[in-house]
Amino acid sequence: MKIIFLIGMPFAGKSYWARKLSQHYNIPIADTDKIIESESGKSIAKIFETEGENAFRKMEQNTLDKLIAEHNEGLIVACGGGTPVFFDNMAKMKNAGCVIYLEANIITLTSRFESAEEKNNRPLLASLTDVEEGLLDLLDDRKNIYEQADYVLSVEGLSITNFDKIISECISKQY
């Protein structure tokens, strides 16, 4: 097994499921947003504010490149929602391992956004007046990229057993 990448919309549960999978399968974890915040000393929102989205996307790409270069065995990566959408990141992820799209319906995403304490740290969503419409627009922009993943799992009703076959296939996948 190389790397398992979890992708999807903000609030789809990528970080949550990465932690759960890491614990259950005893595989190390990385979270691209947390790495960027740690290395830059700034929140994602502050990076967007002070350096702009393009600078953030470049940091995201560099973080992804670094993770792939440094971890050729066993790693679960919770990717930022935009990670697969920019540059050639999706192709890089597919070449380096298995990509799992955590697909969430708009009701789930809206509900999680509205109850989240850290929603102000989501620069593409923080200023929305109509959260549902904004999330739908973002999903429309990204869905065709997300659906290029190796696997698609609906987050509604998702449990660790839903991952068993996928993890098994990813472990035995030849690269």
**pLDDT tens figures, 18-56:** 999 999 999 999 999 999 999 999 999 899 999 999 999
In whole angstroms, give the CA distance from residue 116 to residue 110. Answer: 10
Q: What is the pTM of this model?
A: 0.93
Specify the higher pLDDT residue, 129 or 93. Answer: 93
- Residue 97 DSSP class: E
Q: What is the pLDDT of residues 53-92, one digit of tens each?
A: 999 999 999 999 999 999 877 899 999 999 999 999 999 9
The pairing of strands 3-7 and 75-78 is parallel
β-strand partners of 101: 7, 152
Mean per-residue pLDDT, 93-97: 94
Specify the higher pLDDT residue, 136 or 119. Answer: 136
Select from 94, 90, 83, 100 the least CA-distant residue to 36.
83
Which CATH number describes the domain made up of 3-172? 3.40.50.300
pLDDT exceeding 70 applies to what percent of the chain? 92
- Residue that has been written with the tokens 């930022």 in this structure: 80
Residue 175 has pLDDT above 70, yes or no: no
Give the sign of the dihedral formed by CA 76, CA 64, CA 117, CA 114. Answer: negative
Domain boundaries, the chain: 3-172
